[in-house]
Amino acid sequence: MPIEDHNLVNEFPEYKEDIHQLKMDDAHFKKLYDEYNHLTKEVEKMEQEIIPATTIEEEKLKKQRLQLKDTIQGYIKASKLAAEKA
């Protein structure tokens, strides 16, 4: 079974430019972005069985990644809204 690419630009193609701009200009967003990428790499290593992990451990990281993805999406939307009001 092929493993999906969970890169944020693939997850949110409609926010590609916003993601890039926030990475460049916003230290907090950059931290969230880096954390998301780190979790994604860890999950991929578990899925590919490069590092051993139980199903529970893998699912825990996937849930953390999903929560972080939701946080990032909210952050992007809030920054777009703030920019529109400015």
**CB of 29 within 8 A of CB of 75?**
yes
- If one counts every other C-beta atom within 10 angstroms of the C-beta of residue 82, the result is 9
| 68 falls within a domain | yes
53-70, pLDDT tens digit by residue?
A: 999 999 999 999 999 999
**CA-CA distance, 72 to 7, in Å (whole number)?**
12
Determine the structural domain holding residue 30 and report its residue range: 8-85
What one-character DSSP code corresponds to residue 50? S
| 2 falls within a domain | no
pTM of this prediction exceeds 0.85:
yes
**CB of 12 within 8 A of CB of 76?**
yes
**CB of 47 within 8 A of CB of 3?**
yes
| 18 falls within a domain | yes
| 58 falls within a domain | yes
Look up residue 34 and give its two tokens: 């880096």
Question: Structural domain tally of the chain?
Answer: 1
12-54, pLDDT tens digit by residue?
A: 999 999 999 999 999 999 999 999 999 999 999 999 999 999 9
